[in-house]
Structure 1
């Protein structure tokens, strides 16, 4: 896909639409924006909290959204790993397989983590989702530091 939205905005901001500089499709002066896939924590402290279902509470599903920085005409598959102090099958149900598909023409897809009733849990536990790879030439993270490739959930007792 040749996404020239970034180039058009840049041309507009720099005045090239009124000057002799071109914003045509194959102009190397204004290349396509790099393709990136990322996730963003919903709260400033870097955690999203859900409580397990001990004492008759309902199981709660935590949701991490995985975003593209531009719409794409094909599905984009994103692989991830799960780490942290929580135990899969005891504290939460992991998604299977460990990848998510962002459908063609969509901005994001969701990873669901279901908290389980663990009456023996006495301390906070974490589930850390780390994006590891993406198809269609998308890279993980944003900016020079490739930030926003990790999402953390906290499960409270």
Structure 2
């Protein structure tokens, strides 16, 4: 029981270390605005998250649905200390990954908002203006500000 639990937690710790590295790399790519490499990193992050979830499910199944804290009570003091140390490192890694993911999401949303406002500005600039002018009958002409490909009457 101890060996399987230790190996599973160790794999989770190493996976979270890789996740932290990938998130830092994603942040760097976001800052440099390289969408192609960000997409590749995102796929890697999603696959790694799937593997971590599978590890946690396997650990839960190994313990027969019991909580890890309850299982730790059965083990020897040395084994408990070692597993508690692993759990503390995993917890610290999860918190750092969470903070980095929040920063990545915030930067991605800021870049999206900036791109969206730039696109709206460009669309407003190329859209024809509504100029109120007199027509041949002496009244204001009605113009259509939207672009039209075909203009005709029935």
Q: Which protein has the larger Cα radius of gyration, Structure 1 or Structure 2?
A: 2
Shorter-normalised TM-score: what interval?
A: under 0.3
Report which of the two has the higher share of helix: 2
Report which of the two has the higher share of strand: 1
| TM value normalised by structure 2 | 0.24
| TM value normalised by structure 1 | 0.24
